Amino acid sequence: MIQSFEHRYTSLKKIIDDKLENVIDKKLPAGIYEPLKYILSGGGKRIRPVLLILSCEAAGGNYKEAIDAAISIEMLHNFTLIHDDIMDNADKRRGKETIHKKWDRDTAILSGDALLGFAYKVMLNTTSKNIQKIARAFTEGIIEVCDGQSLDKEYEFKKAVSLDEYLTMIDKKTSQLLVSCAKIGALVGNASKNLINILSNYAKNIGLAFQIQDDLLDVTADEKKFGKKIGGDIREGKKTYLLLKALEVVKSKNDLAFIKSVVKNRGLKNDADIKRIIGLYSDYNIINSASKEVEKYTNKANKYLNGLKNKNSRESFLWFSDMLLSRNS
């Protein structure tokens, strides 16, 4: 059964990859469209479009009806990545040069803007009586991501950030786009309000688990598989779950002072210092604590799946949760 779900995921991912390869139907001006084709061919797990399709099928819809919406949501996601990379001054994304590094900052901004336009264009190809609700869910996803990114940047300058504030930020920055995926897929499949609520709650919690897992992978992943330099969040002074938890539990004055230096200096650039911070995360069980949080929110997400009447859909989502929980990149 596991193999069949894995095969289905691989098949859907290939359909999505093939569609993304040909979705940009313009070549000129090359200064916009070459970077767009570059980022859309950059791979990735295609988690968001697959979630959208699974949600459509849970409502009794056919995946083919959801393909345009799925492609549009992946384009929207890549739009956010282009702009995130500019703001974070990131050198790499999925092991490849970011657009603003390969080209320049202005090209990246303009390409991102064009990609958002294309995302709307493709989404509006979706044939559904619920197209107005679908467009609203899509738009709400954009606004929530922007809110979350704004909070993330704001927190970089804020001396004290609580774990509750962090959870609010990642809910907006990560979870709410997944919630939009669930809503849109369910709407394409003409789902009931109850089913939309079930899938939305699943998506919200799996999104929280996903982001904390991302924080964790930043200090534990294999660099080659992760596609970017380990300890990037520490270099940038990002207030991740691990950093905030460390500030909460570490009692040793020397260790706490060193952890606080990540905030004070808005990041650490020395590799040895970054290695020491990661060591402290391990020594104080912060890494284990983050792992437990990932499991907690994954389990919470999975409990909502008990409300799904379709057994095959329920098992598909459970496999999807396990795949996200066990990812290493």
| Cα 78 to Cα 324: distance, rounded to the nearest angstrom | 19
Cα-Cα end-to-end distance for the chain: 24
- The answer for residues whose C-beta is within 8 angstroms of residue 263's C-beta and 6 or more apart is 159, 237, 239, 243, 247
Question: How buried is 301 (Cβ within 10 angstroms: 0-12 exposed, 13-18 middle, 19+ buried)?
Answer: buried
Q: Please state which of the ranges 25-39, 44-58, 284-298 shows the lowest mean pLDDT.
A: 25-39
- In this predicted structure, the answer to whether residue 42 has a pLDDT above a threshold of 90 is no
Q: What is the mean pLDDT of residues 304-320?
A: 95
Give the mean pLDDT of the chain. Answer: 93
pLDDT at 89: 82
Q: What is the pLDDT of residues 138-174, one digit of tens each?
A: 999 999 999 999 999 899 888 899 999 999 999 999 9
Q: What is the pLDDT of residues 66-103, one digit of tens each?
A: 999 999 999 999 999 999 989 888 887 877 899 999 89
- In this predicted structure, the answer to whether residue 268 has a pLDDT above a threshold of 60 is yes
- In this predicted structure, the answer to whether residue 1 has a pLDDT above a threshold of 60 is no
| Cα 144 to Cα 85: distance, rounded to the nearest angstrom | 18
- In this predicted structure, the answer to whether residue 327 has a pLDDT above a threshold of 90 is no
- In this predicted structure, the answer to whether residue 3 has a pLDDT above a threshold of 70 is no
Question: Could you tell me the pTM of the whole model?
Answer: 0.95
- Lookup: tokens for 321: 């949760």
Residue 222 sits at φ, ψ, to 5 deg, of: -75, 120
pLDDT at 150: 95
